[in-house]
Amino acid sequence: MSQPSQLAVMADVLGALITASGLVCLLAPTRVREWARRFPRSLLAGRILTAGVVIWVALVLVRAPFGRFENLKPLLYVAAPLFYFLVVRYMDELLAPRALGGLLLLVANPVLKAAFLHESNIRLVMTVLAYLLVIAGMALVLGPYRFRLVAERFLTSDARCRALGAMRLVLGGLLLGLGLLVY
């Protein structure tokens, strides 16, 4: 049996995450609405997401070729924790949505790389999804208050939250199906 392609793995992982979030919206809409209301000001969520983003960026930079500045790579081991400390200390206002935006920006890169290597035209589904992640990520990094605005619009009632959950289930199922059957 052959190994699944990178695009299949990306589709399966994203599909599973989107499906899980849809199930949570369907099964516990009140808790989701409360979480979405508290998330932008959550220090713990902001710090955890920021740590994930800083670690991911540091790993990307460590693996990247620096050319004649290759001798500066060891400084990354000092710069990354220092950067984390400075961000958490001085950018703590709405840090959680900013860090979520950064994470969305980072997720798009491996998805696009995997889609580029795939020969099927159906890869464009993942390409479009990656660019939507980039747009959402940029919107959150540049305007973290937008998280609250979107949450207020789509999560005004339990019925709307369940409808959002149903849409997420459909999208997640589509991605899982593509990952398992097509890619």
User: pLDDT by residue for the chain (183 residues), tens digit each?
Assistant: 567 799 999 999 999 999 999 999 999 999 999 999 999 999 999 999 999 999 999 999 999 998 888 888 999 999 999 999 999 999 888 999 999 999 999 999 999 999 998 888 999 999 999 999 999 999 999 999 999 999 988 889 999 999 999 999 999 999 999 999 988
The Cβ of residue 68 has, within 10 Å, a number of other Cβ atoms equal to: 6
| Residue 182 φ/ψ, nearest 5 degrees | -105, -50
| Residue 157 φ/ψ, nearest 5 degrees | -145, 165
Report how far residue 18's alpha carbon sits from residue 177's, in angstroms, rounded to the nearest whole number: 13
3-class secondary structure, 142? helix
Report how far residue 151's alpha carbon sits from residue 146's, in angstroms, rounded to the nearest whole number: 8
In this structure, what DSSP letter does residue 155 have?
Answer: -
One-letter identity of residue 62: V
Planar angle of CA 106, 107, 110, nearest 5 degrees: 100
Q: Compute CA distances 154 → 51, 121, 157, 164, whole Å.
A: 28, 32, 8, 7
Tokens representing 31 are: 């808790």
Tokens representing 86 are: 């400075």
Planar angle of CA 101, 49, 51, nearest 5 degrees: 120
Report how far residue 83's alpha carbon sits from residue 57's, in angstroms, rounded to the nearest whole number: 11
CA nearest 111: which of 19, 2, 178, 14?
Answer: 14
Report how far residue 144's alpha carbon sits from residue 67's, in angstroms, rounded to the nearest whole number: 35
Tokens representing 55 are: 């670690």
Q: What is the reported pLDDT for 3?
A: 75
pTM for this model (two decimals): 0.90
Category of 106 on φ-ψ map: left (φ > 0), alpha (ψ -120 to 50) or beta: alpha
